[in-house]
């Protein structure tokens, strides 16, 4: 038998003791480092894009124009984000049916658009939502949402609100940290709302299965409140009975309790310190990890020691970032076991001042407004401004850009009166809001996974992407690997191509694609003659959960409705012709293939009746051959001094024509121009044996009959930009005009840019309506500072 040496045994024992003593510590250090690292990896792979819309006002009459400016923002660093070039904006009714949709071009992270509210839209509350193609990879709660009111004074739609007896109430309960656990005391937040989603005051009691009262509560502000509760058993179901005024009582079950788990509690203590407490059913010592992040940017990572099922961590609020922070507790296996939100009012952002030159104005008087940034950001700022009349029907906007980025975009659902949480020190109300409307934009399972799957929707950096699906005719079987062409007949020759993937999907990136156009999608029938093509809808079909905000016309406002109706009709009668003024768009008239090698304007030559004679007489770069199946074109490759063996890409007004017999049968008198590329041309994955491009006079195919397999579909590109019109009264003749001016919206300007602290003057004129007008200015600086300012102007008739 071989004996080991005493020194070797002693060394092995020391190694074992070292592993026992330092192994867990090293693993804890690795966990503390890996959690922020994995979150940062996820943030880079899944860039958090946000959109904010500045809507010109909160209330519209049918027939009026809704104006808006779009800001694209990096959700992590709150800076302008140029990831996308298209924003999708929709107006949804209470059932999430889109009544208006538009694609808005984004340039340098901003864009502007408008909708004319149609006369067919019923009175009601509507949701304006906006997102990009990249944002469709995330839950629909991440989209921008804002509520507006539409009044259709032509139709008695919803002329009265529902009777109180028909009002439906909802009560929801949210344990702090996520779950109720048997034997552990938890703080439970409650939110009570009506069918419109508005908070409702209530009192209540929690009953166990035997009917005994185990907790009581009452809501405070906007139907939100909280209470402490300890479930005695995971097998028992607890019920809350709520009283909502005389004659209204509802019962709702509490979330079920778990037999084992963790609960967490956060409270503000002495010296403004925050105390985080974690309790667990686990009694053995355990190492927990706390990660605090704001907008996926880690602010705090630390270890907690769970002893006898209890752990406490005390820290300062300034260790967290401004805005909404997520506090997540992980167990030793790096599994999230509890999470809650905390709000810290952000530091001063973009400091804006707006000052009018007079305290009050008369009708048709010039307003000079000084706009300035009092504390200059490190870069220029992009701003927008609206001036609209305050009356019994109007209200202030639901949120401004700084409130949206600092609070409401990180919460779920509609936040009532977000201004309250920025101007009032009410920790209890803020805590109730975070507990009842808190959520997470991502799943920790995705963050901690070894790898991330490829995103389904890629960004659109260079214009809208048109997506289509190819299947076998009459089936849903995808057709992969098929070259597909997309074009739109025009005097500007544009063609793009793509190859279908394994799911039969093709994606076409469209540059300079605006307004409604006829899209033509086809495959080469010589390569594929049985393919079925479907253009896919670009708008999202997923919607956030929660009740829609219903609305009915209120009888006591009948005179106000009549007044607004008269004002809108007068404006439409005298100024309706200015509604559809569009800004001139700069277009690139160069064809996709650039400058051609040969160009022929046929009116400069002797006109022949048939194209065969034109090509044989005038176009030496194209050889016409006749074979058994008819005509063929062969392009002369002048670079290599050879004749290309296959047909070139033949275009008519930019649309591919694969049957040359049909193009040769077209009357030559309809062709205005012929262009030729005298060599092979590479576009995407396609290789063309030269290009022969015919153009008609109007760019509309001149009645040419396309192959029946070509899919022709009307498609909306990005919106053309309407120009805002407002009359000016800077001459005596204009001021004395007898045309009535009953504008509700005096001014809209989405294109204000500031540099430094130098003030700039904005001018506009009041109308004929006396009253109070609200000026709303807001915007975002290039360094990420957001800000807003409001000012009230008064218009009184001259005495």
Beta strands 297-306 and 286-294 are antiparallel
CA atoms within 13 A on the CB side of 798: 6
Tell me phi and psi for residue 742, to 5 degrees: -110, 40
Paired tokens of 291: 């990660």
**pTM of the predicted model as reported, rounded to 2 decimal places:** 0.90
571-614 tens-digit pLDDT: 777 777 777 777 766 666 789 999 999 999 999 998 999 999 99
> Among 280, 278, 275, 324, which residue's Cα sits nearest to residue 299?
324
pLDDT at residue 378, as a whole number: 66
Sheet (strand 786-795) strand order:
360-361, 786-795, 771-781, 381-390, 745-754
**Cβ(654)–Cβ(489) below 8 Å:** yes
Cβ neighbours, 10 Å, residue 294: 22
Three-state DSSP class for 184?
A: coil
**Cβ(650)–Cβ(657) below 8 Å:** yes
**Cβ(111)–Cβ(105) below 8 Å:** yes
Paired tokens of 495: 């063609």
pLDDT at residue 588, as a whole number: 66
Paired tokens of 20: 């026992």
Paired tokens of 88: 């999708």
Beta strands 65-74 and 110-116 are antiparallel
Residue 462 is classified by DSSP as T
Q: Range(s) for CATH 2.60.40.10 in the chain?
A: 164-258
Low-confidence ranges of the chain (pLDDT < 70): 1-29, 31, 156-167, 376-378, 395-397, 547-557, 584-588, 799
Cα 685 to Cα 458, 466, 482, 682: the distances in Å are: 19, 17, 11, 7
Cβ neighbours, 10 Å, residue 353: 14
What distance in Å separates the CA atoms of residue 609 and residue 675, rounded to the nearest whole number?
Answer: 19
pLDDT at residue 396, as a whole number: 63
Sheet (strand 239-243) strand order:
213-218, 203-207, 239-243, 249-253
Q: Range(s) for CATH 2.170.130.10 in the chain?
A: 598-715
Question: Residue 10: which residues within 8 A CB-CB, separation 6 or more?
Answer: none
298-317 burial: b if 16+ Cβ within 10 Å, else e: bbbbeebebeebebebeeee
**Cβ(73)–Cβ(51) below 8 Å:** yes
What distance in Å separates the CA atoms of residue 224 and residue 430, rounded to the nearest whole number?
Answer: 10
Cβ neighbours, 10 Å, residue 136: 19
pLDDT at residue 552, as a whole number: 56
What distance in Å separates the CA atoms of residue 296 and residue 155, rounded to the nearest whole number?
Answer: 48
pLDDT at residue 585, as a whole number: 67
**Cβ(65)–Cβ(102) below 8 Å:** no
**Cβ(411)–Cβ(438) below 8 Å:** yes
What distance in Å separates the CA atoms of residue 506 and residue 711, rounded to the nearest whole number?
Answer: 14
The neighbouring-strand residues paired with 466 are 508
What distance in Å separates the CA atoms of residue 345 and residue 420, rounded to the nearest whole number?
Answer: 11
Q: What angle do CA 584, 587, 589 make, to 5 degrees?
A: 140
What distance in Å separates the CA atoms of residue 500 and residue 661, rounded to the nearest whole number?
Answer: 28
In words, the CATH class of domain 598-715 is mainly beta
Paired tokens of 401: 């850009």
The architecture in CATH of the region 164-258 reads Sandwich (2.60)
Question: Residue 693: which residues within 8 A CB-CB, separation 6 or more?
Answer: 493, 591, 593, 596, 650, 651, 654, 674, 675, 676
pLDDT at residue 504, as a whole number: 95
554-572 tens-digit pLDDT: 666 677 777 777 777 877 7
């Amino acid at each position: 038998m071989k004996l080991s040496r005493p020194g070797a045994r002693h060394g092995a024992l020391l190694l074992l003791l070292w592993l026992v003593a330092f192994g867990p510590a090293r693993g804890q250090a690795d966990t503390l480092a890996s959690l922020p690292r994995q979150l940062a990896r996820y943030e880079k792979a899944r860039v958090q894009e946000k959109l904010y819309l500045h809507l010109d006002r909160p209330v519209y009459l049918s027939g009026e124009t809704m104006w808006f400016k779009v800001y694209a923002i990096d959700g992590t660093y709150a800076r302008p984000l140029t990831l996308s070039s298209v924003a999708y904006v929709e107006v949804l009714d209470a059932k999430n049916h889109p009544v208006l949709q538009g694609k808005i071009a984004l340039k340098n992270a901003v864009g502007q658009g408008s909708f004319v509210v149609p006369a067919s839209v019923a009175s009601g509350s509507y949701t304006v939502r906006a997102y990009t193609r990249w944002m469709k990879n995330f839950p629909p709660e991440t989209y921008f949402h804002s509520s507006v009111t539409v009044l259709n004074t032509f139709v008695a739609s919803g002329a009265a609100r529902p009777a109180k007896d028909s009002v439906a109430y909802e009560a929801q309960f949210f344990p702090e940290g996520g779950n109720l656990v048997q034997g552990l005391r938890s703080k439970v937040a409650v939110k009570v709302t009506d069918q419109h989603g508005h908070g409702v005051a209530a009192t209540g009691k929690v009953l166990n299965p035997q009917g005994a009262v185990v907790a009581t509560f009452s809501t405070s502000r906007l139907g939100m409140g909280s209470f402490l509760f300890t479930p005695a058993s995971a097998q028992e179901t607890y019920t809350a009975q709520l009283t909502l005024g005389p004659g209204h009582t509802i019962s709702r079950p509490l979330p079920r309790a778990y037999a084992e788990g963790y609960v967490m509690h956060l409270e503000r203590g002495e010296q403004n310190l925050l105390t985080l407490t974690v309790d667990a059913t686990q009694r053995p010592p355990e190492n927990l990890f706390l990660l605090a992040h704001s907008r996926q940017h880690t602010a705090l990572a630390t270890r907690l020691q769970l002893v006898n099922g209890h752990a406490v961590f005390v820290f300062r609020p300034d260790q967290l970032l401004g805005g909404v922070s997520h506090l997540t507790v992980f167990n030793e296996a790096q599994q999230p076991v509890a999470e809650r939100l905390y709000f810290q009012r952000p530091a001063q952002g973009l400091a804006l001042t707006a000052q009018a030159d007079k305290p009050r104005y008369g009708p048709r008087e010039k307003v000079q407004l000084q706009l300035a940034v009092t504390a200059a950001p490190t870069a220029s700022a992009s701003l927008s401004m609206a001036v609209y009349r305050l009356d019994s029907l109007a209200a202030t906007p639901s949120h401004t850009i700084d409130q949206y980025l600092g609070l409401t975009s990180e919460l779920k659902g509609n936040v009532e009166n977000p201004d309250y949480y920025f101007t009032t020190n009410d920790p209890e109300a803020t805590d109730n809001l975070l507990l009842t409307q808190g959520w997470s934009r991502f799943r920790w399972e995705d963050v901690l996974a070894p790898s991330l799957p490829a995103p389904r929707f890629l960004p659109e950096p260079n214009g809208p992407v048109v997506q289509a699906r190819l299947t076998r005719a009459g089936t849903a079987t995808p057709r992969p690997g098929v070259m597909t062409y997309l074009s739109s007949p025009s005097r500007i020759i544009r063609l793009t191509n793509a190859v279908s993937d394994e799911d039969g999907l093709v994606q076409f990136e469209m540059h300079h694609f605006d307004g409604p156009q006829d899209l033509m999608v086809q495959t080469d029938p010589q390569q594929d003659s049985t393919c079925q093509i479907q253009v896919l809808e670009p708008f999202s079909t997923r919607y956030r959960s929660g009740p829609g905000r219903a609305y009915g016309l209120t009888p006591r406002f009948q005179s106000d409705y009549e007044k607004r109706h008269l004002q809108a009709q007068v404006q439409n009668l005298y100024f309706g012709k200015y509604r559809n003024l569009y800004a001139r768009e700069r277009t690139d008239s160069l064809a996709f293939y650039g400058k051609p090698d040969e160009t022929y304007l046929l009116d400069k030559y002797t006109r022949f009746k048939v194209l065969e004679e034109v090509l044989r007489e005038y176009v030496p770069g194209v050889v016409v051959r006749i074979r058994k199946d008819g005509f063929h074109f062969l392009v002369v490759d002048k670079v290599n001094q050879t004749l290309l063996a296959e047909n070139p890409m033949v275009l008519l007004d930019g649309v591919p024509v694969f049957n040359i017999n049909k193009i040769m049968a077209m009357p030559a008198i309809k062709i205005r121009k012929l262009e030729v590329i005298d060599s092979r041309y590479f576009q995407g994955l396609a290789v063309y044996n030269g290009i022969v491009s015919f153009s008609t006079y109007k760019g509309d195919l001149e009645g040419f009959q396309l192959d029946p397999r070509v899919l022709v579909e009307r498609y909306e590109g990005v919106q053309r930009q309407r120009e805002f019109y407002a009359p000016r009264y800077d001459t005596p003749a204009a001021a004395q005009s007898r045309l009535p001016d009953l504008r509700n919206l005096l001014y809209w300007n989405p294109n204000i840019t500031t540099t430094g602290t130098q003030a700039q003057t904005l001018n506009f004129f009041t109308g004929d309506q006396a009253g109070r007008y609200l000026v709303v200015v807001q915007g975002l600086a290039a360094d990420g500072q957001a800000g807003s300012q409001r000012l009230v102007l008064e218009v009184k008739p001259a005495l």
